[in-house]
Structure 1
């Protein structure tokens, strides 16, 4: 039979055990709450960083588009050329399922592929290629090299520069500036060569006569295996034979008075002079809409923008 002292000690032990269990449970609850709070803060911070990163990428691309548009102002016939080449190159790359790094560098290279034109005279830029000769032709053939050199100091452009240097190389080795042939030509440059030639044919840059899309397409495809990589040509040709893609969410063309914060541009917004004002993908806010309307008033324009 237990003594009173033993009973008291047992009761104390049970009380201490209950207190320890309560303390342990409280600490576990506090730890769970801290973990939940930490996870929430990490998720919020990750979302903030992703938003900031997306904004940086968009501003980076917009700056490149704006710079390209300024270069193209020297030759009105070439306004929009780089963006058209970039769009076609992107579509070819999608068909060919390029890896992530190549797919990232190609659109930038397409937008900047003629950056070397900045070193050419207006006479060379505005004359069809077949009419260039002697020193003019030599200078023209330097523009891929000048374009590569212009990007030497930029760490972010080291994957882009070789594509710019090689976008006038030919599959058969008869291109310039290095006479590379076949797989020695970077794949992105082989894609650029097709997209650039197609758009040049459509604009009349090559022989002074603008060709219809069908004729330009036939001329490009005729270069399969000689001028162009057969695989790239097959992907290019497939763009025009495949069923049209499923339509995305429809966009609207709205007057500036109809614009609302939260809408997103679906097309680049260009000035009448061909200067890029806003890039596709730009999300509108009240301040930006006010600036667009002010630009419209100052220049006596009636503008519409494509938005979703």
Structure 2
């Protein structure tokens, strides 16, 4: 071999503590091989037969075997084949003469040798082949170690991903439950705003004589008719609050003006009358949840022909909720003597409403409202076989109100959907005892409590 091959052999990277086993039945061959390899960076051990080599392999670690092909007893190909089966990581090299082609083929097929070297060998070539074999083994061991580490890391990553997925799923479920809880809380908060507006409106009603306390009738009529219009939950809630507070701007009126029909007001009183929708809106400006309701209140005295107030809106410029409130207010107040001094019967009030369509009211909505009134008792809750009437002393905890409950004065005591408790029942009995003699509350409750109870589940 050339010096270049020797230099290449010197430059191959090898680990420390490598061991090479030389197997030959001839002592002089073993000594010659040892001399050739004495400067190499690995330990050299020898064996004079195949059996001796197997015995050594069973006790000591070896990285590479160089075996002569022809030996008494166990020849080289048989030794290398046995070594491959028992210690497959050991590199195997066959040392053979040119005449031993059959032994070489057997070693290649059975022993899966790395290479064979012909006798007589070239020292540089021998050293280079051994270094290449050991470098290959070292590289393969590193590759297998990396494969093992990669496989282990993949398993760890798989476990980590599974754990992460479980954590994400758990966190997602936690967030979903939190969102559901917030939705429920928001729904309850919005419901409490509606209830609060109804309570506040019932307090304002106390300034009026019983025959002019139309608040509850207007609210009930608006709810009933609006339920036929396919409004969104938010729009329905805003409309209910606006209906409850539509007269809020009248709070500053003197008592005599509150009792005077609108067609009998003086010019000064008429100016004050026309300002009450805008005044009602202004009183609610500081309450963010009531902004939409405040807008509906501002425009509920507008006219379809554009001659209403405070802004002279015309046609579809008027919010739908404002149009509904105007219809309900006029219908109820016509029957209470609050528009003209004469109290109109229900049928008369419907006729008056119809005559004003396209002037005061939208034609289609006005006609739908009139038909609704003709086919239902709009000022009462629809009949329901799942509702029963109960007197206060027969109430039980857990019952759910099917209708709003008002005191004899018209003040709202409890809203529909309220779940009765011992404390509430005791308070109702106490309030009833303080009413004028002979007054008894009739409470409407659902018979199917689980189905109607909004707090169930």
- TM-score scaled by structure 2? 0.58
* Worse-superposed segment, 122-131 or 94-103: 94-103
Helix, strand or coil: the match of 1:139?
A: helix
Asked if residue 3 in structure 1 is aligned to residue 141 in structure 2, the reply is: no
Listed as ranges, the matches of 1:1-308 within 5 Å are 1-4=84-87, 6=89, 30=163, 34=167, 37-76=170-209, 77-79=211-213, 81-99=214-232, 101-240=234-373, 248=384, 250-297=386-433, 302-308=440-446
Structure 1 vs Structure 2 CA RMSD: 3.4
Helix, strand or coil: the match of 1:160?
A: helix
Q: Tell me, which stretches of 5 or more residues in structure 2 are unaligned?
A: 1-83, 91-140, 447-457
How far, CA to CA, are the matches of 2:392 and 2:195 in structure 1? 21
How far, CA to CA, are the matches of 2:150 and 2:336 in structure 1? 87
Query: Quick check: which one's helix share is greater?
Result: 1
* Worse-superposed segment, 38-47 or 27-36: 27-36
Helix, strand or coil: the match of 1:95?
A: coil
Is this contact kept in 2: 1:194–1:232, CA < 8 A?
no
Is this contact kept in 1: 2:218–2:243, CA < 8 A?
yes
* Cα distance per residue 1:205-253 (max 9 Å; x no partner): 1112222221111110111111211122122123145689996562121
TM-fit CA distance, 1:116:
0.9
Label 1:152 to 1:39 Cα distance change in 2 as closer, same or farther (>3 A). Answer: closer
How far, CA to CA, are the matches of 1:92 and 1:38 in structure 2? 44
TM-fit CA distance, 1:114:
0.8
Is this contact kept in 1: 2:353–2:370, CA < 8 A?
no
* Worse-superposed segment, 41-50 or 258-267: 41-50
Helix, strand or coil: the match of 2:444?
A: strand
Equivalences, count = 306
- TM-score scaled by structure 1? 0.83
Is this contact kept in 1: 2:194–2:240, CA < 8 A?
no
Structure 1 partner of 2:26: none
Task: Choose 1 or 2 for highest CA Rg.
Answer: 2
Helix, strand or coil: the match of 1:141?
A: helix
Label 1:174 to 1:30 Cα distance change in 2 as closer, same or farther (>3 A). Answer: closer
TM-fit CA distance, 1:71:
1.0
TM-fit CA distance, 1:49:
2.4
Structure 1 partner of 2:55: none
Label 1:126 to 1:242 Cα distance change in 2 as closer, same or farther (>3 A). Answer: closer
Is this contact kept in 2: 1:95–1:235, CA < 8 A?
no
Is this contact kept in 1: 2:194–2:237, CA < 8 A?
no
Label 1:28 to 1:287 Cα distance change in 2 as closer, same or farther (>3 A). Answer: farther
How far, CA to CA, are the matches of 2:224 and 2:354 in structure 1? 16
Label 1:150 to 1:31 Cα distance change in 2 as closer, same or farther (>3 A). Answer: same
Helix, strand or coil: the match of 2:357?
A: coil
Q: Tell me, which stretches of 5 or more residues in structure 1 are unaligned?
A: none
Query: Quick check: which one's strand share is greater?
Result: 2
Is this contact kept in 2: 1:75–1:126, CA < 8 A?
yes
* Cα distance per residue 1:287-306 (max 9 Å; x no partner): 33333334345658643311
